[in-house]
Amino acid sequence: MNSRQYCVFGNPIKQSRSPWIHQQFASQLNINIDYQARLAPEDGFADAFKSFVAAGGEGANVTAPFKEQAWQLCDSLSTTAKASGAVNTLYLERDKLCGDNTDGFGLVADLHRQQVQLIDAKILLLGAGGAARGVIPALLSENPKSLTIANRTASKAHNLQNHFSDSRILACGFDELQAGSFDVIINATSAGLAQQRPDVSSSIIGANTICYDMVYQAKPTGFMTWCHDHGASQCIDGLGMLVGQAAKSFSIWFGTMPDIDPVIEELRRLLIQGK
């Protein structure tokens, strides 16, 4: 039987764990897939996706920097994708290209997995790029008390506030963050990829603050270590989010939700072994 073709598009993409993760899900559910990581030129995502479909591709994940371009390419969008303005999951339905965004599901599922309380929480989201945009609808649907978006470039945080137009959203630059701690701080910047951390005051961390870094690596990230050193009660990395968003994409394509926990455990083990 021919395998069903899926892939992830990004630039860069070599580092992607998505092929391995989707292969684990496919093995769990006895589905025969061929899932590849595909590098698309920065100005050539639409053509790359069309060639993939012409060669039999049925669906794809999309990562930086193509999530907004994928959004624009779609004929039909899920409610979450429509609200977030970014698509990370593409699939075909009666020749129409459909888009969804599963990043928010992945983040919230991981926060629930770690028993983080979001109802009535004061949440701080650092960053205003594609990842931040993608998770805002899911965070709002958890009924937080407030969601503050802070970004290095303050205008982009204000743009997101205007886009979502929800009275619980506040927006500011890093230097305008008021002293006083948050319940949950989520780092959705890409600063960690350059071995940096968002330049924010440690006064945002209190004894009960839980910090989440969307980036993950074998050891705690620089942001997690900084939060821990300034008294955060719990620091979590983005590995569970990565597996969770992939699982939701897989369920959109194949109609069945795979088991997330064993895949998180195995991926953590591989990371620690440097594989």
Residue of 16, 156, 171, 177 interacting with ligand NDP (CB under 6 A): 156
The verdict on whether 67 is a catalytic residue reads yes
Which stretches does DSSP call E strand in the chain? Answer: 4-10, 33-39, 57-62, 76-77, 89-93, 96-100, 122-126, 146-151, 169-173, 184-187, 210-213, 234-237
Task: Identify which of residues 1 and 194 has a Cβ nearer to ligand NDP in the complex.
Answer: 194
Site for ligand NDP in 204-233 (CB under 6 A): 214-215
Which stretches does DSSP call E strand in 101-241? Answer: 122-126, 146-151, 169-173, 184-187, 210-213, 234-237
> CB 118 → ligand NDP: shortest distance, Å?
17
> CB 238 → ligand NDP: shortest distance, Å?
3
User: Beta strand pairing status for 146-151 and 122-126?
Assistant: parallel
The residue annotated as part of the active site, out of 67, 122, 156, 248, is 67
2-41 footprint of ligand NDP as x/- string (CB under 6 A): ----------------------------------------
Encoding tokens for residue 126? 């650092």
User: Is the CB of residue 40 less than 8 Å from the CB of residue 34?
Assistant: no
Task: Identify which of residues 30 and 195 has a Cβ nearer to ligand NDP in the complex.
Answer: 195
Maximum pairwise Cα distance, the chain: 60
Question: Which residue number is nearest to ligand NDP in terms of Cβ?
Answer: 129
- Contact positions toward ligand NDP, by CB under 6 A? 64, 103, 106, 127-132, 151-153, 156, 188-191, 193-194, 196, 198, 214-215, 238, 241-242, 245
Residue positions annotated with a catalytic role: 67
